[in-house]
């Protein structure tokens, strides 16, 4: 009876997929995205690590099964009845991994520096809906797989080793490249249909090109320094620390500007300090030096001029981020920005503000907030 119910449910699900085949990819895409949005939190949380590892492992297994299906490898086995679901499973894992990376990268992304890499992830996330008709293209399969694999190890290695440096990033890339090439060679050897469909040299050249492309992005500091993430960045009138609590006083923004809490026009009085408060998320036990790079826009040369780098240390593990601040009082009018960066000059975020100096200018809507 139990076996009959299982068979009935399977056939019912199969009929549903075939009837709504046009919308099935979208449903799997949404399913993978919502699953991550509702369940993922911190990159160093055990649950998140396990889920990402399962997604990556299951994607690798499913790609192997799917590419050998055309050779009749699974005929007369229990896998034969699931062959038509392999493309949907691949889409689900593509969607789940890319949406996970979007969630994590969105915390780190700086719109001025690293938005280009973030947009690639967003395009990949949205384009996943349209991969159904092209999922059989093995060049596309393995290109997307390698990109997701590289990103996976770029997250995982720093979390596991509690180290973050260019060397760790390059090691992550080598591990990803080795795993991807091993999977490609295994499928190529095991699958005659794959050998007929692809030129192995062309595919390997494509993978190496993607590898070089990602490293080029890293070299030009266009990739957010995950797993670090800027949780808060505020220009303030004062910051005070008592015990484990920071009190930050700043000019609150208008309510309709929902994406930023503080005003970017700073009411400055001579001899006053201008504070920059930042809260940086870091995985447990990861220690890193953070710099506040103060810059001023020279309207004559139309260039940003470096004024000063001021640093402080962070140690990971706090849910709301490791807090710190820097300040300056030798400030002059104009456009300013403070880049929150690592010692390798990878940008976590940028805090923009404009200094207006007037003896009688009072702060607007000054509020205090505790962190």
Token pair 């999977």: residue: 183
CA 229 to chain centre: 9
Question: Where in the sequence is the domain holding 189, given as residue range(s)?
Answer: 2-219
Packed helices 86-108 and 138-161: angle between N→C axes, nearest 10 degrees: 40
Lowest mean pLDDT among 34-43, 129-138, 341-350: 129-138
If asked whether residues 238 and 212 sit together in one domain, one would say: no
Q: Is 244 inside a domain boundary? A: yes
User: Helix (H, G, I), strand (E, B), or coil: what is residue 330?
Assistant: coil
Residue 186: which of 195, 196, 174 has the closest Cα?
195
Among 104-108, 130-134, 187-191, 321-325, the range with the most confident prediction by mean pLDDT is 187-191
If asked whether residues 213 and 242 sit together in one domain, one would say: no
Residue 146: which of 50, 215, 51 has the closest Cα?
215
Residue 155: which of 54, 58, 52 has the closest Cα?
52
If asked whether residues 18 and 108 sit together in one domain, one would say: yes
| pLDDT reported for residue 185 | 95
pLDDT digits (tens, 9 = 90+) for 299-339: 999 999 999 999 877 766 566 667 889 999 888 999 999 99
**Residue 134 pLDDT class (50, 70, 90 cuts):** low
**Residue 232 pLDDT class (50, 70, 90 cuts):** confident
Token pair 């015990």: residue: 243
| pLDDT reported for residue 18 | 57
Q: What is the pTM for the complete model shown?
A: 0.76
Q: Is 288 inside a domain boundary? A: yes
If asked whether residues 140 and 175 sit together in one domain, one would say: yes
Cα–Cα–Cα angle for 231, 111, 265, rounded to 5 degrees: 75
| pLDDT reported for residue 4 | 38
If asked whether residues 111 and 79 sit together in one domain, one would say: yes
Contact between 62 and 89 (Cβ < 8 Å): yes
Q: Which of the two residues, 98 and 42, has the higher pLDDT score?
A: 98
pLDDT digits (tens, 9 = 90+) for 271-309: 889 999 998 887 767 777 889 999 999 999 999 999 999
Token pair 């190496």: residue: 208
Q: Is 224 inside a domain boundary? A: no
Q: Is 25 inside a domain boundary? A: yes
| pLDDT reported for residue 248 | 94
If asked whether residues 136 and 271 sit together in one domain, one would say: no
If asked whether residues 202 and 238 sit together in one domain, one would say: no
Number of domains in the chain: 2
| Stretch 165-174: mean pLDDT | 91
If asked whether residues 183 and 252 sit together in one domain, one would say: no
Domain boundary among 167, 197, 219: 219
Q: Is the pLDDT of residue 259 over 70?
A: no
If asked whether residues 240 and 209 sit together in one domain, one would say: no
Packed helices 166-190 and 138-161: angle between N→C axes, nearest 10 degrees: 140
If asked whether residues 214 and 233 sit together in one domain, one would say: no
- Report the CATH number that the domain containing residue 301 is assigned in CATH: 2.60.40.10
pLDDT digits (tens, 9 = 90+) for 44-79: 788 888 999 999 999 999 999 999 998 999 999 999
Domain boundary among 191, 219, 247: 219
Q: Is the pLDDT of residue 131 over 70?
A: no
Contacts with 278 (C-beta within 8 Å, 6 or more apart), sequence order: 230, 232, 233, 234, 290, 292, 323, 324, 325, 340, 349, 351
If asked whether residues 131 and 93 sit together in one domain, one would say: yes
Domain boundary among 164, 198, 219: 219
Q: Which two tokens stand for residue 116?
A: 């280009």
Q: Following CA atoms 20, 24, 30, 36 in sequence, which dihedral angle do they give, to the nearest 10 degrees?
A: 130
Q: Is 321 inside a domain boundary? A: yes
Q: Which of the two residues, 326 and 227, has the higher pLDDT score?
A: 326
If asked whether residues 180 and 316 sit together in one domain, one would say: no
């Amino acid at each position: 009876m139990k076996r009959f119910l299982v068979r009935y449910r399977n056939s019912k699900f199969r009929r549903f997929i075939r009837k709504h085949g046009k919308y099935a990819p979208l449903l799997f895409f949404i399913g993978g995205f919502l699953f991550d949005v509702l369940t993922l939190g911190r990159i160093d949380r055990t649950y998140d690590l396990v889920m990402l590892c399962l997604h990556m492992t299951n994607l690798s297994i499913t790609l192997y099964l799917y590419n050998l299906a055309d050779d009749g490898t699974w005929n007369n086995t229990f896998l034969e009845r699931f062959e038509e679901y392999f493309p949907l499973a691949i889409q689900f894992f593509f969607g789940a991994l890319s949406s996970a990376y979007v969630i994590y990268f969105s915390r780190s992304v700086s719109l001025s520096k690293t938005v280009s890499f973030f947009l690639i992830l967003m395009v990949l996330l949205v384009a996943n809906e349209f991969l159904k008709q092209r999922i059989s293209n093995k060049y596309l399969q393995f290109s997307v797989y390698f990109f997701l694999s590289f990103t996976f190890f770029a997250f995982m290695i720093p979390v596991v080793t509690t180290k973050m440096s260019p060397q760790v990033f390059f090691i992550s890339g080598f591990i990803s490249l080795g795993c991807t090439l091993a999977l490609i060679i295994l499928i190529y050897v095991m699958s005659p249909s794959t050998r007929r469909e692809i030129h192995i040299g062309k595919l390997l050249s494509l993978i190496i090109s993607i590898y070089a492309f990602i490293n080029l992005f890293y070299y030009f500091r266009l990739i957010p320094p995950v797993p670090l993430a800027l949780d808060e960045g505020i220009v303030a009138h004062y910051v005070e620390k008592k015990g484990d609590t920071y009190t930050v006083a700043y000019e609150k923004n208008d309510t309709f500007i929902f994406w930023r809490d503080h005003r970017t026009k700073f009411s400055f009085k001579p001899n006053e300090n201008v504070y920059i408060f930042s809260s940086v998320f870091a995985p447990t036990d990861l220690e890193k030096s953070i710099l506040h790079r103060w810059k001023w826009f020279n309207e004559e040369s139309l260039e940003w001029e470096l004024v000063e780098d001021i640093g402080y240390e962070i140690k990971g593990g706090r849910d709301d981020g490791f807090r710190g601040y820097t300040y300056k009082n030798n400030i002059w009018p104009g456009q300013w920005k403070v880049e929150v960066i690592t010692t390798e000059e990878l940008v976590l975020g940028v805090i923009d503000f404009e200094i207006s100096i007037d003896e009688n200018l009072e702060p607007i809507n000054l509020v205090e907030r505790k962190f």
